[in-house]
Amino acid sequence: MAAKETPSPVLKNKDLLRDAAFINGRWIKEASEYFEVTDPASGKVIAKLPDQPISAVEEAIDVANNAFKTFKNTTPRQRSAWLRNLFNLMNENQEDLAKILTWENGKALSEARGEIKYAASYFEWFAEEAVRSYGVTIQPGNCSNRAYTIRQPVGVCGMICPWNFPSAMITRKVAPAFAAGCTIVLKPDSQTPLSALALAYLVEKAGFPRGCFNLVLSHTRTPEFGLKLCESPKVKKITFTGSTNVGKILMEQSASTMKKLSLELGGNAPFIVFEDADIDEAVEQALACKFRGLGQTCVCANRFYVQSSIIEEFSEKLAGKVKKFIIGPGLQEETTHGCLINQKAIKKVDEHAQDAIEKGAEVVLKGGPLPEIGETFYSPVILTKVPHSAKVSKEETFGPLCAIFSFDTLEEVIGYANDTNVGLASYVFSKNVDKIYTVAEALETGMVSCNTGIFSDVAIPFGGVKESGFGREGSLYGLEDYTIIKTVTIGNLPNRI
Ligand SMILES: NC(=O)c1ccc[n+]([C@@H]2O[C@H](COP(=O)([O-])OP(=O)(O)OC[C@H]3O[C@@H](n4cnc5c(N)ncnc54)[C@H](O)[C@@H]3O)[C@@H](O)[C@H]2O)c1
Ligand SMILES: O=CCCC(=O)O
């Protein structure tokens, strides 16, 4: 865990590093204000980007609205080919894209490589889905009428994306939108805009028509940008990944124009381990699940519920594995786990850990800040026998705190797991198939992962219930969110012969 000088990434394709917004196929660098992007591992400034005025969003919306008039009539085959080009381009530039991602986000390079592959898979999937949009035929009550439905692109989509997956959270919105024939105004997080800009460059290279994809930049005016996208009658859909609080704001702001919404919001995932589970496997999976992005993943386990008879064994084995982590700057090849996004994130982990300890939790692994490496580095904390009154039982920590709670019965643990206002992902470990079915069906989450800690895949519907939002990304349903169903009735047909 020794401090080392963070290297700057050496890129093969330097064109991927952009320092301008992208509207109507033009890179826009000029602005009266600029914001800095920093490497969270070193605190060094790595880019200065235009902090655009609100007029830039208005312009991007107008451009996307004009582009929609022709883009919606391109053939699904053509859109599929452009998406396939984009998939190939991401793969060709995989290593550079991973380096850019690590540089601005801080996650280990090995993880960033995985994210780029995952992000690209959305373009491959939706290249295949673009040509598979179906309607139904209906016989209405009136015998001289016939009806059928078609799916049409919803229109201009406003996309607001977070920093924790700077590439994949964008591609899983952009890919289905393009597949359906929608045009785009994207606002990436101002902490991690470089991955988004690299994607904009590749969208251009892939051959998409000018104006279909527009990317606006701001650090100081994020809420105003959001408001403009929500209130514009030209924008027909808002798709957002981020916190439940911001999701609620966007939903309220979208009410005046009755927008279609997809909201992928916060989670508080329970990770349940029964005494009949393979404990070593459960520990391995717990590590993979909890420490993706060092705990900054919306589907990371937030609450471990471990049956009381195995809680000591599980906690000790987990701690033994965590001690082997190599925490350091993400760009160093040997690093297994990088840093957190900022100091606010560290404060929250510390606050949740201290609160649980004060309320009676036992410390298995002390962890804590690692200032000798840098201000955003934090060694994981493992606490056991955490009381249910602790903050971590109700709030998402979004960082490297493993809070282990004890339970005795199946009914009891389902009660604990569902005692939250959010419902994104949950995990169950048991070798008893009856138990797996029962618990999976009783858990109030959009996704239940059984005997594995990693389930994310473009092929599965991704999304939550309760205050984790609505809409499903990826899968056979992903395209639907970017289309509207139109019903066509043909009347006054002659009598059947
Ligand atoms: N469900 C999912 O798929 C998913 C995926 C990733 C992250 N998340 C959630 O995101 C949260 C972590 O990210 P965060 O804390 O940065 O979330 P956040 O909601 O604060 O920020 C998300 C994005 O929204 C922007 N934003 C903030 N206020 C805004 C406003 N008023 N109008 C428009 N945009 C605004 C931010 O700049 C950022 O780009 C966690 O709760 C996590 O669970 C959910
Ligand atoms: O953080 C949210 C999304 C991560 C994933 O797709 O698994």
Mutate-to-test residue for ligand 1 from 250, 252, 265, 290, highest number of ligand atoms within 8 A of CB: 265
Q: Using the atom order of ligand 1, give the atom closest to the CA of residue 250.
A: 32
Confidence at residue 4, expressed as pLDDT on a 0 to 100 scale: 52
User: 396 CB less than 6 Å from ligand 1?
Assistant: yes
CB 402 within 8 A of CB 381: yes
Rg (CA), the chain: 24
Helices within 130-167 (DSSP H only): none
453 lines ligand 1 (CB under 6 A): no
Strand partners, 146: 490
CA 270, CA 108: separation in Å to the nearest integer?
Answer: 25
Q: What is the dihedral of CA 89, 93, 99, 105, to 10 degrees?
A: 0
Taking the model in full, what pTM does it have?
0.97
Which residue's CA is the nearest one to ligand 2's atom 2? 298
pLDDT of residue 495: 83
Taken as a whole, the chain contains a residue count of 497
pLDDT for the residue 2: 42
Rounded distance from Cα 47 to ligand 2 centre (Å): 26
Using CB atoms within 10 Å of the CB of residue 302, give its burial: 0 to 12 exposed, 13 to 18 middle, 19+ buried.
buried
Q: Is 395 a catalytic residue?
A: no
Predicted pLDDT at 143: 94
Enumerate residue ranges in the chain where pLDDT < 70: 1-7
The candidate with the shortest Cα–Cα distance to 106, out of 304, 319, 397, 400, is 400
pLDDT digits (tens, 9 = 90+) for 279-327: 999 999 999 999 999 999 999 999 999 999 999 999 999 999 999 999 9
The CATH number of 14-265+469-484 is 3.40.605.10
Non-local CB neighbours of 88 within 8 Å, separated by 6+ positions: none
pLDDT at residue 8, as a whole number: 82
- Asked if residues 263 and 250 have their Cβ atoms less than 8 Å apart, the reply is yes
Q: Hey, is 465 helix, strand or coil?
A: strand
The Cβ of residue 55 has, within 10 Å, a number of other Cβ atoms equal to 9
Give the integer Cα–Cα distance in Å for 201 and 170. 14
Q: Which of 118, 217, 225, 298 to mutate to test the pocket of ligand 1 (most atoms within 8 A of CB)?
A: 298
C-alpha to C-alpha distance for 476 and 472, rounded to whole angstroms: 9
Q: Looking at residue 380, what is its pLDDT? A: 98
The CA 429 to ligand 2 mean position distance, Å, reads 21
- Active-site annotation holder among 264, 396, 467, 473: 264
Write down the domain spans for the chain: 14-265+469-484, 269-450
Domain 269-450 CATH class label: alpha beta
Residues with CB under 6 A from ligand 2: 164-165, 297-299, 456, 462
pLDDT (tens digit per residue) in 101-143: 999 999 999 999 999 999 999 999 999 999 999 999 999 999 9
Burial of 471 (0-12, 13-18, 19+ CB in 10 A): buried
Ligand 1 atom at minimal distance to the Cα of residue 253: 32
- Please tell me the distance between residue 423's alpha carbon and the centre of ligand 2 in angstroms: 14
Count of C-beta atoms within a 10 Å radius of residue 70 = 12
Atom of ligand 2 nearest to the CA of 118: 6
